Amino acid sequence: MSNNIIDTDSEDEIPPGWEERVTFEGRVFYASHDQQNTQWKHPVTGKEKYVRGELPYGWERVIQDDGTIVYVDHINKKTCFTDPRLAFAEPLKTSPKDFRQKFDGNSSALQILNGRDLTGKYAIITGASDGIGYETAKSLAFHGATIIMACRNTEKAEKCKSNILKDRPKATIEILHLDLASLRSVKQFAEEYKRRAWPLHMLILNAGVFGLPYVVTENDLEMTFQVNHLSHFYLTKLLYDLLVSSAPSRVVVLSSESHRFPKIHMVEDVTEDSLSLPKDKYSDMNAYNISKLCNNLFSLHLNKLLAGKKVTSNSLHPGSCISTNLQRNWWLYRVVFFIVRPFTKSKQQGAATTVYCATHPDVEEIGGMYFNNCCPCQPSKESMDEQLAEKLWTVSETILQDRLARLTSI
């Protein structure tokens, strides 16, 4: 090794006499004090890097009278000349799909958000009063986002809000009632949200049910199908224009690896009876699997409709058998979840992929994908079938319009 290169295990280490700096636009450059010149490429690796996004929470960029840029850390009351985002500098990408995995199944939601400031961002999270939804709400609130907890049980949501505010008194959290088993409630939620004139940067469709006995909603639909898919479909349609006007914004749909198991393979298989199962064809696991395939296909087609509008949609698998309240409906599921609990993710880890898809710069221009462990992965071939996705959208629209017509006729 030459004498002017420091002996280190890190290939990104800057040699003596060099300094790493950032332009106002976020491009990293390197200044040589010995040679009195600058260059874009790392003096050792030859890589070009950049930083993007906002400064970390509590930091401010200040331009002094002489034009010097300094960075003020208001939390720790310190000032420096180094952009704190340099700690998160990334190699320059040649394509949005030039993806490098930085997190995995052991990462937590708060680790994903390290150094991020989401002040000014508004996020709707359905089912935010429990489990992964609560951890998602807490993590985003801790980093400055305005959280709208969309919950059926508002009393429980108030307790969750209080818990978050104990740790972050300055967190901004609103609670709006939303019962996904009622299309009327979905409409009322969307109308109330719009009435308050809030923007919408993150629509996180987290709520879901699992392991139910056969139950029909007030809209005459099988409960799992309506709660897990159709009501989220309706909610997104009602908020579609707001997502576009608030762009850049993102839709995040929580799916599951269970999406791989339904016997829906062709366009002809997508009918109302194959989605909202009748009683004689019902099994709780099959209904859940179907709803999760619907989540993937819905996200895929939604992303296609949003192309060019700076709004993306992705679906994800948060983790298997995470100990939430999802398994509450049958004692056997509760036993199974209890047994496997030591081997599964925590709820904070379960929220990581949601938070990653909703906020991370790496996913800013990526849509129509399926994520697992904070990384794009291959879903079932049915989940990538655009014709199947379009058919699901059409059938869902037909079912929705039929049920809404029944409401107006009452």
The contacts found for 268-273 with CB under 8 angstroms, 24 or more apart, are 270/388, 270/391, 270/392, 270/395, 271/395, 272/395, 272/398, 272/399
Q: How far is CA 168 from CA 162, 241, 325, 346, 401, in A?
A: 10, 32, 25, 21, 43
Strands (DSSP E) found in 302-379: 311-317, 370-372, 375-377
Length of the chain measured in residues: 410
Nearest C-alpha neighbor of 302 from the set 237, 372, 242, 227: 237
The span from the CA of 128 to the CA of 111, in Å, is: 20
Q: In what order do the strands lie in the sheet with 78-80?
A: 59-63, 69-73, 78-80
Residues 365, 102: contact at Cβ < 8 Å?
no
> What 8-state DSSP symbol labels residue 211?
S
Q: Does an H or E element contain 287, and which?
A: helix 284-305
- Given 288, 333, 356, 370, the catalytic residue: 288
* Amino acid at the residue 410: I
Q: Which two tokens stand for residue 64?
A: 């002094």
| C-alpha to C-alpha distance for 147 and 156, rounded to whole angstroms | 15
Structure-token pair, residue 6: 């420091």
DSSP conformation class of 227: I
Whether 234 is catalytic: no
Of the candidates 377, 379, 358, the one whose C-alpha atom is nearest the C-alpha of residue 122 is 358
In the three-class reduction of DSSP (H, G, I as helix; E, B as strand; rest coil), residue 97 is classed as coil
Rounded to whole angstroms, how far apart are CA atoms 70 and 192? Answer: 42
Alpha carbon distance 160, 156 (integer Å): 6
What is the rounded CA–CA span in Å between residue 49 and residue 230?
43
Please tell me the distance from the alpha carbon of residue 352 to that of residue 338, in angstroms, as a whole number.
21
The residues carrying an active-site annotation are 288
